[in-house]
């Protein structure tokens, strides 16, 4: 443990196994589209961007369903964190004062009182961070070193708040699809309670009404054998939610029955910021849920979408007779029956992998196979030879796919690129011109970053299909 510190009461380091939150799928899925609107209805942040949704450039992005991550809604506050998030607090609470004490000093004093231990090698700071408050290494940290320990008693949840009994009695009335209502009520109550146990924690972020620094909750992962159970209730984890996110993160939160521990996953030099991960997320997901993006090429988890109906449209363009068109629709209906496609779905392409590999592979196969082969395939309900296609769909082996598959994929990419209001060169010119870029609003800058990353993926794919 840390020099000069003690293990929180009840904590058992042996139980804090390296169990990380489940990674959220990075694709967008049903309802997704490549058009990147200017973000007008999202929380803003110092590193923000936009979602990609099929619609007018001025529309706010909407969540997607088929491959969307299991993440809650957004709270306003400081640095974004965690696999889940809650609803906006910006219009729910006024800035919280905690006397004349420095917010960080007050928070650290509170940490000591509740047994939340920070390593002497780290510090909470606004200096040297990418956005607002963050955590910085005061000394060099080695991989595997413990950065801080949060006892369960310090976590804010529907069970630990001062109205926990009431929330438990009204559990039935508070049920919702998201499961976040009890925590939101607990948070609202504690924010307005002058003597709240968590007041120094809230005081760390005095600008709750500015919608600029999203603060998020955690949803603890289930054990593998518990996957069929209901998800764990969301909680707020002091200290953990100070860490900012990077795809190439250097720390990770571990869970146990008694505590939560943040552990370094790689060496962290003195003076460098400590980053957590909120899951493997594309830029549209980061802006939609957390209020920031990672500019290209930093986000190695970024994705681009090809609408499923665009693939159908590209295939229809290759038909010459009414009989061919009817057969094409029959093939599409069969794919719908196999649950490989949907009218509002999207195929999701990452920088190095195809996240919807099975769906896209099956779609290309069915739409491109000869008529007689399709009849036989359909008679077998898509079964028969279960052997994996020789040219299975990963980004690196797309050039090895059958020529008809590559052509259909290429035509689909070209149609997708046409749905953007600007082309790649135009976006690149704006990004490379500091004077022009600076004249864009913050939201326009982030929307530009999102769609530029998507177009780069699509153009990479286009080259591979040539």
pLDDT in tens, 433-460: 999 999 999 889 999 999 999 999 999 9
Residue 444's pLDDT is 94
Indicate the SS3 state at residue 350: strand
Q: At residue 224, does pLDDT exceed 70?
A: no
Task: Give the mean model confidence (pLDDT) for residues 62-66.
Answer: 32
Q: Per-residue pLDDT tens for 70-89?
A: 232 222 223 333 323 332 22
Q: At residue 181, does pLDDT exceed 80?
A: yes
DSSP letter at 75 equals: E
Most confident of 64-68, 132-136, 319-323: 319-323
Q: How confident is the model at residue 209 (pLDDT cuts 50, 70, 90)?
A: low
Q: For 267-276, b where at least 16 C-beta lie within 10 A, e where not — what string?
A: ebeeeebbbb
What does the alpha-carbon distance between residue 342 and residue 414 come to, in Å, rounded to a whole number? 20
Q: Per-residue pLDDT tens for 254-278?
A: 999 999 999 999 999 999 999 999 8
Q: How confident is the model at residue 290 (pLDDT cuts 50, 70, 90)?
A: confident
Q: At residue 466, does pLDDT exceed 70?
A: yes
Task: Give the mean model confidence (pLDDT) for residues 167-182.
Answer: 92
Residue 218's pLDDT is 64
Residue 367's pLDDT is 98
* 422 Cβ neighbours under 8 A, 6+ residues apart: 451
Which has the higher per-residue pLDDT, 179 or 47? 179
Number of residues in the chain = 466
Indicate the SS3 state at residue 162: coil
Q: Per-residue pLDDT tens for 306-317?
A: 999 999 999 999
What does the alpha-carbon distance between residue 148 and residue 107 come to, in Å, rounded to a whole number? 14
Task: Give the mean model confidence (pLDDT) for residues 29-48.
Answer: 33
Yes or no: say if 267 and 248 are a contact pair by the CB < 8 Å rule. Answer: no
Residue 205's pLDDT is 67
Q: What is the percentage of the chain residues whose pLDDT exceeds 90?
A: 62
Q: At residue 48, does pLDDT exceed 60?
A: no
Residue 122's pLDDT is 98
Lowest-pLDDT range of 58-62, 173-177, 209-213, 348-352: 58-62
Q: At residue 432, does pLDDT exceed 90?
A: yes
Task: Give the mean model confidence (pLDDT) for residues 285-311.
Answer: 94
Q: How confident is the model at residue 288 (pLDDT cuts 50, 70, 90)?
A: confident
Signed CA dihedral, 292, 296, 301, 304: sign only: positive
What does the alpha-carbon distance between residue 212 and residue 92 come to, in Å, rounded to a whole number? 15
Judging by beta carbons within 10 Å of its beta carbon (0-12, 13-18, 19+), is residue 383 exposed, middle or buried? exposed
Which has the higher per-residue pLDDT, 431 or 74? 431
Lowest-pLDDT range of 97-101, 126-130, 141-145, 319-323: 97-101
Q: At residue 204, does pLDDT exceed 90?
A: no
Give the chain's mean pLDDT: 79
What does the alpha-carbon distance between residue 402 and residue 409 come to, in Å, rounded to a whole number? 11
Task: Give the mean model confidence (pLDDT) for residues 147-161.
Answer: 96
Yes or no: say if 108 and 118 are a contact pair by the CB < 8 Å rule. Answer: yes
Residue 177's pLDDT is 84
Most confident of 90-94, 101-105, 212-216: 101-105
Encoding tokens for residue 278?
Answer: 């909120």
* 330 Cβ neighbours under 8 A, 6+ residues apart: none
What does the alpha-carbon distance between residue 464 and residue 125 come to, in Å, rounded to a whole number? 45
Residue 229's pLDDT is 66
Q: At residue 28, does pLDDT exceed 50?
A: no
Q: Per-residue pLDDT tens for 348-368?
A: 999 999 999 999 999 999 999
Task: Give the mean model confidence (pLDDT) for residues 90-99.
Answer: 40
For residue 412, which phi and psi values (nearest 5 degrees)? -70, -40
Q: Which bin fits 20, alpha (ψ -120 to 50), beta or left (φ > 0)?
A: beta
What's the half-sphere exposure (Cβ side, CA atoms, 13 Å) at 55? 15
Residue 2's pLDDT is 61
Q: Tell me which residue has tokens 């939101």.
A: 184
What does the alpha-carbon distance between residue 370 and residue 20 come to, in Å, rounded to a whole number? 46
The model's pTM is: 0.73
Q: At residue 3, does pLDDT exceed 90?
A: no
Residue 178's pLDDT is 80
Q: At residue 36, does pLDDT exceed 90?
A: no
Q: For 17-37, b where at least 16 C-beta lie within 10 A, e where not — what string?
A: eebebbebbbbbbebbbbbbb
Judging by beta carbons within 10 Å of its beta carbon (0-12, 13-18, 19+), is residue 279 exposed, middle or buried? buried
Residue 84's pLDDT is 30
Q: At residue 52, does pLDDT exceed 70?
A: no
Task: Give the mean model confidence (pLDDT) for residues 238-251.
Answer: 95
Q: What is the percentage of the chain residues whose pLDDT exceeds 70?
A: 71
């Amino acid at each position: 443990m840390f020099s000069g510190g003690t293990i929180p009461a009840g904590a058992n380091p042996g139980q804090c196994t390296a169990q990380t939150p489940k990674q959220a799928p990075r694709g967008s899925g049903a309802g997704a589209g490549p058009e990147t609107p200017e973000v007008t209805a999202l929380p803003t942040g110092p590193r923000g961007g936009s979602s990609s949704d099929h619609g007018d450039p001025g529309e706010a992005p909407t969540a997607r369903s088929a491959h969307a991550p299991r993440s809650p809604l957004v709270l306003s506050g400081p640095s974004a964190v965690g696999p889940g998030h809650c609803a906006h607090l910006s219009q729910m609470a006024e800035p919280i004062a905690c006397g004349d004490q420095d917010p960080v000093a007050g928070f650290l004093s509170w940490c000591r009182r509740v047994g939340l231990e920070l390593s002497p090698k780290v510090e909470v700071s606004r200096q040297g961070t990418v956005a607002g408050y963050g955590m910085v290494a005061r000394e060099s940290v080695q991989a595997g070193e413990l950065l801080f320990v949060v006892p369960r008693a310090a976590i804010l949840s529907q069970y630990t708040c001062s109205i926990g009994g009431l929330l438990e009695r009204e559990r039935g009335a508070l049920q919702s699809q998201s499961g976040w209502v009890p925590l939101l009520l607990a948070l609202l109550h504690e924010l307005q309670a002058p003597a709240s146990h968590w007041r120094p924690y809230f005081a760390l972020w005095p600008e709750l009404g500015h919608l600029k620094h999203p603060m998020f909750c955690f949803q603890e992962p289930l054990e593998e054998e518990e996957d069929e159970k209901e998800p764990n209730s969301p909680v707020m984890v002091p200290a953990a939610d100070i860490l900012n996110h990077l795809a190439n993160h250097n720390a990770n939160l571990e869970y146990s029955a008694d505590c939560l521990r943040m552990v370094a996953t790689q060496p962290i030099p003195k003076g460098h910021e400590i980053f957590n991960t909120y899951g493997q997320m594309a830029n549209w997901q980061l802006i939609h849920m957390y209020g920031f993006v990672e500019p290209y090429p930093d986000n190695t988890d970024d994705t681009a979408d090809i609408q499923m109906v665009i693939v159908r449209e590209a295939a229809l363009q290759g038909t010459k007779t009414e009989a061919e068109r009817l057969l094409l629709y029959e093939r599409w209906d069969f794919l719908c029956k196999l649950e490989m496609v949907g009218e509002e779905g999207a195929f999701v392409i990452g920088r190095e992998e195809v996240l919807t590999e099975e769906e896209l592979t099956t779609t290309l196969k069915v739409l491109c196979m000869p008529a007689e082969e399709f009849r036989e395939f359909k008679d077998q309900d898509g079964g028969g030879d279960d052997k994996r296609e020789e040219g299975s769909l990963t980004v690196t082996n797309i050039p090895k796919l059958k020529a008809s598959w590559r052509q259909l994929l290429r035509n689909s990419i070209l149609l997708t690129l046409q749905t953007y209001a600007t082309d790649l060169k135009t976006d690149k010119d704006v990004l490379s011109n500091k004077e022009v870029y600076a004249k864009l609003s913050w939201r326009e800058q982030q929307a530009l970053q999102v769609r530029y990353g998507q177009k780069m993926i699509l153009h990479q794919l286009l080259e591979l299909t040539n």
